[in-house]
Structure 1
Amino acid sequence: MPPPKLRHSVRALVLDDEGGRILLCRFAFARADGTLVVWAAPGGGVERGETALAALRRELHEEVGLALEGEPPHVWHQVVVDPAHAPGYDGVVNDYFLVRTPRFDPGGALTDEQLAAENVTGLRWWRPDDIRGYRGSDVFSPRDLGRLLARLEEDGLPETPVSLGR
């Protein structure tokens, strides 16, 4: 049996250096049973011939308007094997990088229409406590994002990227 075809993506945990808030993208996916809203870190697919860091820089510029300098630490690694997760693939690999920055008003190089074509329908700064206490119908990716952020703050940077579940 051949190995699964996985889409490699990079994501940025963009934390403001003043209040510890995280910038998340609101993704809206139309489904037969309604719209699924997922709040996730900005980022996206690594193109053929592109390094992970180059992809991260491109995605941050396009989605949120952040010019990434330096090499942020790689803190999390996630593999999700599920064909429903990424059309045309058997799943995804997400590599998460920690980016600390002064708080800014996000607005990337892509138009609202271009972002909507990628299912991005909004951007918002979230406090980790609000993520952990959220009881609405939206979901976060990874599902235990609030706990993972608290652990990252408590433990500091991991020596090697922490392997995540879904």
Structure 2
Amino acid sequence: MPTPAAPKPFLHVMAAVMHDADGRVLLAQRPAGKHLAGMWEFPGGKLEPGETPVAALARELREELGVTLQHAEPLIRVPRHDLERELLLDTWQTERWEGTPQSLEGQALQWLPPAQIDPATLAPADRAILQALRLPHRYPITPAEVRPDQRDAWFERIGRAIEHGAQLVQLRLPLWPREHVHELAAALLPLARRCGAQLLLNGDVDGALALGTGVQLKSTQLAAMSERPLPPWQLVGASCHGAGELAQAAGIGADFATLSPVAATRSHPQIPPLGWSRFHALAEAAPLPVYALGGMAPSHIAQARQCSGQGAAGIREFWR
């Protein structure tokens, strides 16, 4: 019988997203001679045996940057599997520390707003951290029953939502001719861009390419794809229902996923809900930000965040 393969070494790495008063975050460049030399990453280092994550993070920031961590909160856990090892990048964010960060280990440092960071310059595992920083916790989706004759009312409704802080909105309008959806998106885009919001079309890759919006891939589309359908500056979301689809979404380079149904829904009462425990396990194991979807309301955002989610996505309750 063949000898079983030895288990890969497991590396638990802490990373810190440090926010300054100007909304910038700190990046460190991997020095020459190290793996991925020259690429930028969020500062941190290995969790040592017996350490808690917060204690390890505080130690790494003290040793690497000469600062004393005062408070930090979880942001995202990014697992990565390669040929040599299993890596977990356990990422926390903070606005509170004592001292001025300085390079104590010879690495270059830079402060940048998240919107100005080029993902291609980051170490691969750190790119999911950047997406988690850029994405909001609330993701409203237009109701499927909206009719074409309600166009003006929904143009105003979506516009008001964007003006009041909605940063990510999916146009899911299955009763509309596709060209009418494109017209609505084109009319909303100037406001969205002024307000720093992103519009996503449901399943319409060609329309997204033409308009410069993002796209939310249907699960059937996702299953048939082998690569990312849009350039890096246009968001790609993926509709997922389990671990296999989440892995496929990460494999094609999607920016985030929705995972559903977390709770029972009126639209699909025959589908058993995942529940929060299962959602937590799947979101924690996914190497990209994951929104809870299905029976969600804005009041569920905190629960989703506690269960390793990016936040909550929803339909009817998100437009009340």
Same fold (TM over 0.5): yes
Corresponding letter in the other structure for 1:159: Q
1:80-159 to structure 2, matched below 5 A, reads 80-83=80-83, 90-101=85-96, 105-107=100-102, 110=104, 115-116=105-106, 121-131=107-117, 134=118, 138-140=121-123, 141-151=125-135, 154-155=136-137, 158-159=305-306
Q: Please report how far the alpha carbon of residue 159 of structure 1 lies from its aligned counterpart in structure 2 after TM superposition.
A: 2.1
Q: Please report how far the alpha carbon of residue 144 of structure 1 lies from its aligned counterpart in structure 2 after TM superposition.
A: 4.5
Q: Please report how far the alpha carbon of residue 4 of structure 1 lies from its aligned counterpart in structure 2 after TM superposition.
A: 3.0
Equivalent residues of 1:77, 1:162 under 8 A apart: no
Equivalent residues of 1:22, 1:127 under 8 A apart: yes
Equivalent residues of 1:79, 1:93 under 8 A apart: yes
1:91-147 deviation per Cα after TM superposition (whole angstroms, max 9, x unaligned): 311111111137964126x4xxxx24xxxx21111111210xx38x73344225443
Q: Secondary structure at the match of 2:127?
A: coil
Corresponding letter in the other structure for 1:94: L
Q: Please report how far the alpha carbon of residue 8 of structure 1 lies from its aligned counterpart in structure 2 after TM superposition.
A: 0.8
CA distance in 2, matches of 1:123, 1:39: 9
Residue in structure 2 matching 1:160, options 307, 315, 318: 307
Equivalent residues of 2:14, 2:47 under 8 A apart: yes
> Is residue 47 from structure 1 mapped to residue 29 from structure 2 by the alignment?
no
> Is residue 27 from structure 1 mapped to residue 30 from structure 2 by the alignment?
yes
Q: Please report how far the alpha carbon of residue 47 of structure 1 lies from its aligned counterpart in structure 2 after TM superposition.
A: 0.9
Q: 1 or 2, which has the higher strand percentage? A: 1
CA distance in 1, matches of 2:114, 2:91: 17
Corresponding letter in the other structure for 1:10: M
**Residue of structure 1 equivalent to 2:58:** 57
**Residue of structure 2 equivalent to 1:4:** 8
Structure 1: gaps spanning 5 or more residues: 85-89
Q: Please report how far the alpha carbon of residue 83 of structure 1 lies from its aligned counterpart in structure 2 after TM superposition.
A: 4.2
Q: Structure 1 vs Structure 2: percent identity of aligned residues? A: 26
Equivalent residues of 1:36, 1:138 under 8 A apart: no
Q: Please report how far the alpha carbon of residue 42 of structure 1 lies from its aligned counterpart in structure 2 after TM superposition.
A: 1.0
Q: Secondary structure at the match of 1:28?
A: coil
Q: Please report how far the alpha carbon of residue 3 of structure 1 lies from its aligned counterpart in structure 2 after TM superposition.
A: 4.3
CA 83–122 in structure 1, closer or farther in 2 if over 3 Å, else same: farther
> Is residue 74 from structure 1 mapped to residue 74 from structure 2 by the alignment?
yes
Q: 1 or 2, which has the higher helix percentage? A: 2
Q: What is the TM-score when the length of structure 2 is the normalising length?
A: 0.38
Larger Rg: 2
CA distance in 2, matches of 1:23, 1:38: 14
Corresponding letter in the other structure for 1:66: V
1:62-94 deviation per Cα after TM superposition (whole angstroms, max 9, x unaligned): 111221124x2112011111246xxxxx13111
CA distance in 1, matches of 2:115, 2:90: 23
CA distance in 1, matches of 2:309, 2:28: 22
CA distance in 2, matches of 1:21, 1:91: 30
Q: Please report how far the alpha carbon of residue 29 of structure 1 lies from its aligned counterpart in structure 2 after TM superposition.
A: 4.8
Corresponding letter in the other structure for 1:75: L
Regions of 4+ moved over 4 Å: none
CA 101–47 in structure 1, closer or farther in 2 if over 3 Å, else same: same
Q: Greater relative contact order (Cα 8 A, min sep 6): structure 1 or 2?
A: 1
